[in-house]
Amino acid sequence: MIGGGLAGLSSAVALAEAGIHVRLFEKRPHLGGRATSYTLPDGSEVDNCQHVTLGCCTNLADFYCRVGADKKIRSYGRLYFADKQGRRSTIKSSVLPPPLHMAPSFAAFCSLTIADKRSIARAMLAIARAGGHPSGVDGASMLDWLHRMGQTPAAIERFWRVVLVSALDEELARISARYGIDVFWKAFLGSRKGYCVGIPTVPLADLYDGCREAIVRRGGEVRLRTGVREIRVHHDQFAGAVLEDGSEASADACIAAVPHDVLQNLLPPEMTANNGPLEGLRHLKTSPITGVHLWFDRSVMTEPFLTLLDHTTQWIFNKSLLHAAGETNGCAEGPMEGAMTGSTADAAPASGQYLQLVISASYDLVPRSRQEIIDLCLRDLAGVLPATREAKLVKATVIKEVNATFSPEPGVDRWRPCQASPVQNLFFAGDWTSTGWPATMEGAVRSGYLAAEAVLAASGKPRKFLQPDLPCEGLSKFWARRRENRR
Ligand SMILES: Cc1cc2nc3c(=O)[nH]c(=O)nc-3n(C[C@H](O)[C@H](O)[C@H](O)COP(=O)(O)OP(=O)(O)OC[C@H]3O[C@@H](n4cnc5c(N)ncnc54)[C@H](O)[C@@H]3O)c2cc1C
């Protein structure tokens, strides 16, 4: 296994469980890839960027359970929003059956007019009635589709853009309509719990403690600080991996679970050249995410997290409160309403607060200086969290991930290779491989499970790891079935 991100780890753990002797080579000193944390020179541990999962991410949930990380994820059933006027709204589930379960809180959403809400409801109904697959979306951008659906400018800006830019790390004009619609179907319309936000109660690197153990216990090996510099291919067969120290590792099969741009440099150049079997790798584009970490001398926020409308800052995470949330009930399902501002707010440290802000598709911030970005974010915070105006900023860090995720632009699927490569005994895993999902932790784990299935199938011992989606409920179940029957 080359690469110890979520794709490599999930694949390695699955294969080890199936009795395969796995050796994992990871270039960095820690596991987790993009979804990890590290220690700053002053000793504070920060996530590379806040990562959240959703209830519809069934394979990531399965992986967390396998490695004992599920108890370190807390699920939140309420989403908090704040607009430029400082007005707060909450979205949560009601007793109504899907896809109507969020309708009462949506009706009370104070940052949208009745005309905005009517247009959104019409588009949501079109998605639901088509079982998540409305016709005529192939090749269209999400923005094209929203215009076609007669969405008001405020509905686009204050609703669709807010959800999708964070979920898919791209602007609406560059998002494939199929990917955008899928987010709403899987998270908000198909089932009652698909939207529940899962947030780690520990630094991200602590989620992977059980991975190494799961591999080593079954006779495998995890080697950190061990980069691979070349994948050798001979007569269309995997012929070994050359490590950075010049030594060579051989194996019956190899899974390359590195980012797609790294893979291009490891493979023989003719494979990714024009008309080569993996030419598509060169066509995948990437988009940036900026994380801003702010430490205040006092408490400035009571919510666990907040989504901002009409601001540069898109999400604020109250890290002090989220990390004070403690262990959860493991794989227990459903929203944990107790984890809101009440009981866990009391558990937050009395003085000082650490917030993490996230800006996805942050193209405009890439050329800006660290100080400019901090000043911009502080201006955003002054409006929605008035306590920050008086508070002293003790420390701040900005982490720009310029190539954070691949861009889910229309037609992107034709560039994403499947897990079984054109080379015998060489397989691929990574959020960029063909999974049907965008670049997310769920997509990475799906790719890892699919790669493990491909390795086992090729060795004559087929086994399934991929988990089904959440079952559809209510009217959505009826519409999903009707679509299946028509196909
Ligand atoms: C800032 C940011 C915020 C995000 N937020 C979210 C979120 O909230 N929710 C969500 O679901 N997803 C989020 N994502 C996306 C998510 O992090 C990724 O989709 C997922 O982690 C990708 O996993 P991966 O294993 O495919 O790739 P990576 O995590 O990139 O793993 C690849 C691994 O290969 C290693 N490697 C590279 N080169 C070599 C080499 N030559 N030899 C050996 N090892 C090598 C790397 O060090 C790395 O560990 C975010 C991503 C970023 C960057």
Report pLDDT digits (tens) over 379-400. Answer: 999 999 999 999 999 999 999 9
Token digits for 153?
Answer: 């400018």
- Any atom of ligand 1 within 6 Å of the Cβ of 26: yes
Among the atoms of ligand 1, which is closest to the Cα of residue 25?
Answer: 43
Query: Which is higher by pLDDT, 86 or 196?
Result: 196
Give the distance (Å) from ligand 1 centre to CA of residue 58.
Answer: 18
Distance CA 438, CA 430 (A): 11
Give the distance (Å) from ligand 1 centre to CA of residue 97.
Answer: 36
| Residue 487 pLDDT grade (very low, low, confident, very high; cuts 50, 70, 90) | confident
Distance CA 170, CA 72 (A): 29
Residue by residue, DSSP assigns 288-344 as EEEEEEEEESS----SSEEEESSSS--EEEEHHHHHTT----TT--S--GGGSSSHH
Asked if the model's pLDDT at residue 141 lies above 80, the reply is: yes
Give the distance (Å) from ligand 1 centre to CA of residue 6.
Answer: 7
Output the pLDDT for position 329.
53
Which element (helix H / strand E) includes 482?
Answer: helix 474-486
- Any atom of ligand 1 within 6 Å of the Cβ of 54: no
Give the distance (Å) from ligand 1 centre to CA of residue 35.
Answer: 6
Asked if the model's pLDDT at residue 331 lies above 60, the reply is: no
| Residue 55 pLDDT grade (very low, low, confident, very high; cuts 50, 70, 90) | very high
Give the distance (Å) from ligand 1 centre to CA of residue 224.
Answer: 16
* Residue nearest to ligand 1 atom 4, measured at CA: 51
Asked if the model's pLDDT at residue 334 lies above 80, the reply is: no
Segment 187-203 mean pLDDT: 98
Asked if the model's pLDDT at residue 346 lies above 50, the reply is: no
Segment 9-26 mean pLDDT: 98
- CB of 373 closer than 8 Å to CB of 292: yes
Amino acid type, 129? R
- CB of 36 closer than 8 Å to CB of 49: no
Which element (helix H / strand E) includes 373?
Answer: helix 370-384
- Any atom of ligand 1 within 6 Å of the Cβ of 448: no
Token digits for 288?
Answer: 């940036």
* Residue nearest to ligand 1 atom 8, measured at CA: 51
What's the distance, CA 161 to chain centroid? 17
- Any atom of ligand 1 within 6 Å of the Cβ of 207: no
Segment 147-163 mean pLDDT: 98
Output the pLDDT for position 220.
97
Farthest-apart Cα atoms in the chain, separation: 68
Asked if the model's pLDDT at residue 214 lies above 90, the reply is: yes
Output the pLDDT for position 391.
98
**CA angle, 227 then 441 then 353, to 5°:** 100
Segment 297-314 mean pLDDT: 97
- Any atom of ligand 1 within 6 Å of the Cβ of 406: no
Check whether the bond before 99 is cis (ω within 30° of 0).
yes
Segment 316-327 mean pLDDT: 89
- Any atom of ligand 1 within 6 Å of the Cβ of 70: no
216 CB-near residues (< 8 Å, 6+ apart): 222
Output the pLDDT for position 351.
76
- CB of 345 closer than 8 Å to CB of 119: no
* Residue nearest to ligand 1 atom 15, measured at CA: 440
- Any atom of ligand 1 within 6 Å of the Cβ of 400: no
Write the DSSP symbol of residue 156: I
Residue by residue, DSSP assigns 176-187 as BHHHHHHHIIII
Segment 47-58 mean pLDDT: 98
128 backbone dihedrals φ, ψ, rounded to 5°: -65, -45
Among the atoms of ligand 1, which is closest to the Cα of residue 54?
Answer: 11
Asked if the model's pLDDT at residue 339 lies above 60, the reply is: no
Give residue 136's region: left, alpha or beta (phi > 0; psi -120 to 50).
left
Among the atoms of ligand 1, which is closest to the Cα of residue 289?
Answer: 1
Distance CA 62, CA 296 (A): 36
Alpha helices in 385-417, H assignment, sequence order: 387-390
Distance CA 455, CA 452 (A): 5
Asked if the model's pLDDT at residue 120 lies above 50, the reply is: yes
Output the pLDDT for position 89.
96
251 CB-near residues (< 8 Å, 6+ apart): 23, 238, 240, 241
Distance CA 12, CA 449 (A): 9
Q: Which residue has the tokens 């959703």?
A: 54
Question: What tens digit of pLDDT does each residue of 248-258 get?
Answer: 999 999 999 99
Residues of the chain with pLDDT > 90: what percent? 93
- CB of 159 closer than 8 Å to CB of 126: no
Least confident of 231-235, 327-331, 365-369, 467-471: 327-331
Distance CA 346, CA 377 (A): 26
**CA angle, 430 then 434 then 439, to 5°:** 55
- Any atom of ligand 1 within 6 Å of the Cβ of 446: no
Question: What tens digit of pLDDT does each residue of 288-300 get?
Answer: 999 999 999 999 9
Quick one: which of 400, 152, 452 has its CA closest to 288?
A: 400
Distance CA 164, CA 355 (A): 22
* Residue nearest to ligand 1 atom 27, measured at CA: 5
- Any atom of ligand 1 within 6 Å of the Cβ of 441: yes
Output the pLDDT for position 86.
87
At CB < 8 A and 24+ separation, what contacts does 26-30 make? 26/222, 26/223, 26/224, 26/225, 26/226, 27/3, 27/225, 27/226, 27/227, 27/228, 27/244, 28/4, 28/224, 28/225, 29/224, 29/225, 30/205, 30/224
Distance CA 463, CA 17 (A): 11
Amino acid type, 233? V
Query: Which is higher by pLDDT, 350 or 425?
Result: 425
Q: Which residue has the tokens 């998540």?
A: 132
pLDDT averaged over every residue in the chain? 94
- Any atom of ligand 1 within 6 Å of the Cβ of 241: no
Buried b (16+ CB within 10 A) or exposed e, 438-454: bbbbbbbbbbbbbbbbb
* Residue nearest to ligand 1 atom 36, measured at CA: 3
Strand partners, 406: 286
Give the distance (Å) from ligand 1 centre to CA of residue 432.
Answer: 10
Mutation pick for ligand 1 pocket among 34, 183, 293 (CB with most ligand atoms within 8 Å): 34
What's the distance, CA 456 to chain centroid? 27
- CB of 1 closer than 8 Å to CB of 24: yes
- CB of 228 closer than 8 Å to CB of 25: yes
Least confident of 56-60, 177-181, 350-354: 350-354
- Any atom of ligand 1 within 6 Å of the Cβ of 181: no
Question: What tens digit of pLDDT does each residue of 170-183 get?
Answer: 999 999 999 999 99
Entry pTM: 0.95
- CB of 416 closer than 8 Å to CB of 439: no
